[in-house]
Amino acid sequence: MNAPDRFELFVIPEGRRKVEMEEDTKIPNAATFKIEREDHTLANMLRMQLLKDPRVLFAGYKVPHPLEHNFILKIQTAPDTTPENALGDAITELIQEIGQLKNKFEMDVIRQRAFEDAKAIHGGGLDGDDMSLDPHRAGLDVDF
């Protein structure tokens, strides 16, 4: 079979680094990052996070080949920062956003389970007019 082994999707080969940076000699404050064993999912999240930063003038990525498990990220920044700093900040902000999303999801799961438990206790005889067991009106409404 010609299919590559699945572990090649995430195991970094010996002698390679997860992230390699090359400064651009033609464009000021620009660099190209090659990120190993990642795909469009992370590439697009990083690009979008970078573009939210007013210090970033350009952020784009490409996947060289569908069978290669890496992407190339190009960043150009304003003179007051470096592409490395912008990428580090974008990664930190993404980690925080994903953590908040995880917390909200977990709270919604708890809220829904409490709603289902209350519904079961009351015999499931709730009609559409009874809002007393609405999970959003319960005391579990927590924003992070």
Instruction: List all residues 6 or more positions away from 56 whose beta carbon is below 8 Å from its beta carbon.
Output: 50, 75, 76, 77, 78, 86
Q: Give the strand pairing for 70-77 and 30-36.
A: antiparallel
Q: What pLDDT, in 10s, does the model give residues 47-92? A: 999 999 999 999 999 999 988 889 999 999 999 999 999 999 999 9
Calpha distance 63→36 (Å, rounded): 11
Q: What pLDDT, in 10s, does the model give residues 115-131? A: 998 888 877 655 555 55
CB atoms within 10 A of CB 30: 17
Which CATH topology does 6-121 take? Answer: Gyrase A; domain 2 (3.30.1360)
Q: Helices 40-52 and 83-121 meet at what angle, rounded to 10?
A: 110
To which residue do tokens 């080969």 refer? Answer: 13
Show me where the domains of the chain are located.
6-121
